[in-house]
Amino acid sequence: MQLEYFLLTAAALFCIGIYGLVNSRNVIRVLMSIELMLNAVNLNLMAFSNYLDPVGINGQVFAVFVISIAAAEAAVGLAIVLSIYRNRDTVDMEQFNLLKW
């Protein structure tokens, strides 16, 4: 078992998350992609914590912080999605152009 395996897994997960973030039409799927990217970052932190700092485990502390921030982000994001759905009656990302021009 090596550090590089975990880092490569995290990199692949992050890239999949970016692809979904940019290409999704559904707003909920965009939120899911953001969660995937946050999980990739968490996996990176945990891998570094285990292999480079196995006694101090500062990385695990950071991962716990990221998990709590992600929970807050999901709650606020879904509230925004719900309220914008009430106003625009759609979940299509391409039709949310309030701030575009």
Partner 1 sequence: MTLAEGVQLVTFGLLTAMTLGGALGVVLLDNIVYSAFLLGGVFTSMSGLYILLNAGFVAAAQVLVYVGAVSVLILFGIMLVNKEQAYVPMKRAWLGKTATGGVCVGLFALLTASTLNTPWAISSQVPTGDMATVTIGIHFFTDYLLPFELASVLLLIALIGAIVLARREFIPDVAPGEPASEALQLPERPRELVSSVSGSEADS
Q: Is 41 in the site for partner 1 (CB under 8 A)?
A: no
Q: How far apart are CA 62 and CA 18, in angstroms?
A: 22
- The amino acid at 60: Q
Residue where the block lists tokens 């979940």: 91
Q: Is 94 in the site for partner 1 (CB under 8 A)?
A: yes
Mask 7-26, x = binds partner 1 (CB under 8 A)?
Answer: xxx-xxxxxxxxxx-xxxxx
Q: Which of 89, 96, 98, 101 binds partner 1 (CB under 8 A)?
A: 89
Q: Taking the CB of residue 59, how many other CB atoms lie within 10 A of it?
A: 20
Q: Is 35 in the site for partner 1 (CB under 8 A)?
A: yes
